A = this chain, B = another copy of it.
């Protein structure tokens, strides 16, 4: 139910007209944008936006590898989802699984050379799309505002996001 007390007289007020418009623009814009970026990557390079994001995170590590849990945290995806996605990527030859040394529960995904080559090819597609359909449409100040707002959203929602048991 609602957070905190069970049947608390919940405080809520409708969004005003301006907030309503902004909220709907955000939802629609996000739907269109993510859809488009995903579609472009699939058509050009046959990978999803999610797979692309994973390749990016891996490429940023000195050894091009990350533990499953860290990938999940970096993207705010469930562990389960990462398991499936990495399985598909392994199938496609983009990553390999290896055992973590020192913790026999751990699994580490390493980017293959093929995975890296694909990332190098796909990055321009992705970056051009992000610019064309988002960044270049906003003034610097407005885009900074977007960053500020969603930084806050992350902070507020981050903790305990995959924890199944939500004991408050």
Write out, one digit per residue, whether chain A residues 147-164 have a CB within 8 A of any chain B CB (1) or not (0): 111111110111001000
Known: A2-B125, A146-B146. A29 touches B153 (CB 8 A): yes
Shortest Cβ distance from residue A67 to the other chain B in the assembled complex, whole angstroms: 18
Contact A146 B144 (CB under 8 A): no
Shortest Cβ distance from residue A45 to the other chain B in the assembled complex, whole angstroms: 10
Contact A154 B29 (CB under 8 A): yes
Contact A137 B152 (CB under 8 A): yes
Determine, out of A16-24, A82-90, A106-114, the stretch whose residues face the partner at the interface.
Answer: A16-24
Write out, one digit per residue, whether chain A residues 130-152 have a CB within 8 A of any chain B CB (1) or not (0): 11111101100111111111111
Cα(A159)–Cα(B154), bound, Å: 31
Write out, one digit per residue, whether chain A residues 21-34 have a CB within 8 A of any chain B CB (1) or not (0): 11101111111111
Contact B161 A32 (CB under 8 A): yes
